[in-house]
Amino acid sequence: MGILKVKKLSLRLNGKKILDNIDIDFWEGHVHAVVGPNGAGKSTLAYTIMGLEGYKKIDGDIIFKGHSIKRMSISERAKKGITLGWQEPSRYEGLSIKQFIKASANKKSNGIVEDVLNKVGLDPREYMNRAVDKTLSGGERKKVELASILAMQPKFVMLDEPDSGIDVASLEKIFDGIKLLKSYGSTIVLITHSLTVMKQAEHAFLLCGGKLVEKGMINKIEPYFEKECLPCEHKNVPDTGGADES
Amino acid sequence: MKVDELLRLANVDEALNDKGTAHLTINLNKVVSKNIVPGLHIDTRETKDGVDVNIVVDEGVVIEKQVHMCFGITHEKALQKIVMNIDIHKNAGISVLSHCIFPKATKIQHIMDAKIRVREGASYTYEEKHIHSMDGGIEVYPKAIVDLEKKARFKTTFELIKGRVGKLDINYSITGMEESVMELMSKVSGRADDIIKIKEGGNLIGKKARGVLNSRIAVRENAKAEIYNIMKASAPYARGHVDCKEIIQDNGVATAIPVVEVKHPKAHITHEAAIGSVDTKQLETLMSRGLSEDEAVELIIEGLLS
C-alpha cells in the first residue's frame, strides 16, 4: 500500500522542466531507490516532496496517507513524519550534537542521544558535546545526520546520496541505520546513482531528464541501470538557475 | 529587591560561601562582601557613583579557583561606575568570572573602566556574564586598556545570558608584546530597539605576539549592531585573526567594520566576516526534523552564541 504518492508531478525552474509528469507510489515500510545519473531530477524530487524553498510551485500533487501535502510547510510535513537526510548536511557553529539530535527527537526521553549515537557507531562520550560544525569530517557529519533521523523515527525518510563523502566502514554503519529505520516501520527512499546503495533497496524508480523512465523490483532495475545508464553519454544537465541539484 | 536575591539570579551562592574562593560583591556603590585568598589583594574605595577597585596578584602566584566578582544594582534607576586597576605580576595567573546583574533596570548606566597590566609570563582570564531586565532600560559601557608583557596571556569573553541588551558599548584596546597571546570573544543577542556597539583593538607589537578578535552577534526586530574590529601587527611572526559573524532577522541592522593593518613583512593577519540572515539550508534541515521556523532560528542563534 502506498504511503506517499507523487501524482503527475512537474516542476519548472527558470522556465525549464526539471520534473516532468512523474507518477510514483512509495509502498509503506519498504526501501525504495530513486536512481539516475547526475541531473536526472532525483534530488529535486526529494526537495519537492519535502517542500523546500524554491521547490513548492508544482503541477500535480503529493499525497501522504491519503491527503495532499503540497500546500504544507516543511515543518508541517515533518510533523506528519516526513524527513530528508541531506547529501551534504548543514553545519552549525556552536550547536552541539546533543542539541541537534534532541531537537530532532520524536520522543524527548533520557538517553535518546546516547542511544542513536551508539547505533551509528559514534561514541557518545566523545561526540555528544562536540559541535555540529566544520570540525566534523564528512563521514562523522553524515552519521550525525543519520542519528538525528533515527531519533526522529520518521514514517517516510528520503536519504540523498547516503554514500557521498564517506568511507567503506562508515557506509556499513549507514546501511545498518537504514535497516534499523526499516525495523521501525519507516518507509525509506534512497536517492542515489550508486549500485552499492541501490542494492539496499527492494524497489527502484529510474529517472532520466526529469522523467520516470523505468520502475520495478531492484533485480530488474539494477542490471538495466548498469547496462544502459552508467555508460550512457546523454547529458542530464538542466539549468536549475543555481538551485542545488545533484 | 535584596542583594541576596540578586546573587541568587547569578547562581553564585556556593562560590560566595566557599572560603577557598575569592570574591567581591558590589551593589551600586557599596562593597557588600569580599573574600581574598593568599597572593591575591583586592582593595576597594567607595565613591559617589560606584567603587574603585585595585586588584593585584603576587609574582608567581596562580589562583587555583576562579574568582567571582558580582556587580549588581538592585534599584531600577541608577548610575554605577566601577574603576578597576588590575596588575597580574610576573608568572602569576588568575581567572575571574564577573556577574553583572541588573534585573530591575529601567534606567541604569553601568560603566566599567579598567586598566589591566599582565606582566611577563602571567595569565589573566576574564569572563563577563550579564543578566539584564527585559525592559531594555540599561546602558552598559565596558572599557579596558590592556597591556600584555612578554609571554603574557589575556583571554576575555562577554556574554549576555538573560534579558535585553538595552545599549551596549564595549571598547577594548590591547597591546601585546613578544610572544603574548590575546583572545577576545563577544556574544550578544539584541532585539527590540537594542543597540550593540563593540570596538575591539588588538595591537601586536612584539615578535610572535598572537591575537584573535571574535564576535558572535544576533540582531532581531529593530536592534542594531556595529562591530569594529581593529587588528594591527608590526613585529615579525606576529599572527592575528579577526572573525565576526552576525545574524540578522526582521528589521535588524548589522555592520561589521574590520580594520587589518600589517606593518612588518613577516607578520600576518587574517580576517573573516559573515553577516546575513539565517542560512536557508540550516533552517530547512531543522524544519525537516519538525521544528517550526521560529524554533529553528532560535536554535541556530543559541548555537552561534553558545
What is the pTM (predicted TM-score) of this model?
Answer: 0.82
| B287 neighbourhood in chain A, CB within 8 Å | 73-75, 78
Q: Who among A53, A90, A106 is closest to B282 (CB)?
A: A90
CA distance B295 to chain A (A): 9
Residues B192, B163 contacting (CB under 8 angstroms): no
CB contact under 8 A, B290 and A104: yes
Per-residue pLDDT reduced to its tens digit, A111-134: 999 999 999 999 999 999 999 999
Q: What is the mean pLDDT of residues B166-193?
A: 96
Per-residue pLDDT tens over the stretch B108-133: 999 999 999 999 999 999 999 999 99
Determine, for residues A83 and B288 on separate chains, whether the beta-carbon distance falls below 8 Å.
yes
Query: Taking CA atoms, what residue in B is nearest to A102?
Result: B289
B242/B232 Cα distance (integer angstroms): 10
Of A78, A93, A244, the CB nearest to B288: A78
| Shortest Cα distance, chain A CAs vs residue B235, angstroms | 31
Going by pLDDT thresholds of 50, 70 and 90, the confidence category of residue B1 is low
Distance CA B259, CA B269 (A): 10
- Dihedral sign for Cα B2, B6, B8, B13, please: negative
Alpha-carbon distance of A165 to A139, in angstroms, equals 6
A92 touches chain B (CB under 8 A): yes
Lowest mean pLDDT among A146-150, A238-242, B212-216, B280-284: A238-242
Phi and psi angles of residue B223, each rounded to the nearest 5 degrees, phi first: -70, 155
Contact criterion met (CB < 8 Å) for A148 and B287: no
Q: What residues contact residue B147 under an 8 Å CB cut-off, 6+ apart?
A: B116, B117, B118, B174, B175, B177
pLDDT of A124: 96
User: What pLDDT is stored for residue A45 in this prediction?
Assistant: 97
- Spatial strand order of the sheet with B210-219 comes to B30-35, B23-27, B67-72, B93-102, B123-132, B153-162, B181-190, B210-219, B239-248, B268-276
Q: What is the structure's pLDDT at A236?
A: 56
Sequential DSSP letters for B60-92: T-B--SPEEEEEE--SSEEEEEEEEEEEE-TT-
Among residues B46, B90, B92, the alpha carbon closest in space to that of B67 is found at B92
Residue B306: which residues within 8 A CB-CB, separation 6 or more? A94, A95, A96, B187
Residue ranges of chain A with per-residue pLDDT less than 50: 238-246
The vertex-A237 CA angle with A233 and A240, nearest 5°, equals 170
- For residue B207, give every residue at least 6 positions away whose Cβ sits within 8 Å of its Cβ, in sequence order, or none: B178, B179, B235, B236, B237, B238
Contact by Cβ (8 Å): B27, B9 = no
Residue B209: its pLDDT value, please? 98
Partner residues linked to B86 by β-bridges? B55, B116
Sequential DSSP letters for A54-96: TS--EEEEEEETTEE-TTS-HHHHHHTTEEEE-SS----TT-B
- pLDDT per residue over B69-98, tens digit each? 999 888 888 899 999 999 999 999 999 999
B113, B83 in Cβ contact below 8 A? yes
A79 touches B: beta carbon within 8 Å: yes
B287: closest chain A residue by CA: A75
Task: Give me the amino acid identity at B172.
Answer: Y
Distances (CA, A) of B132 to B15, B109, B159, B161: 21, 12, 11, 8
How is B258-285 classified by DSSP, letter by letter?
EEEEE-STT-EEEEEEEEES--HHHHHH
What mean pLDDT value characterizes chain B?
A: 94
Going by C-beta distance under 8 Å and a sequence separation of 6 or more, which residues neighbour residue A220?
none
User: In the predicted model, what is the mean pLDDT of residues B271-283?
Assistant: 91
pLDDT band at B105 (very low <50, low <70, confident <90, very high): confident
- Tally Cβ neighbours within 10 Å of residue B127: 16
Q: How far is A155 from chain B (nearest CA, A)?
A: 12
DSSP state of B15: H
Q: How many CA atoms lie within 13 A of A167 on its CB side?
A: 3
B303 pLDDT band, cuts 50/70/90, is: very high
Q: Which chain A residues contact residue B280 at CB under 8 A?
A: 53
What is the average per-residue pLDDT within B254-259?
93
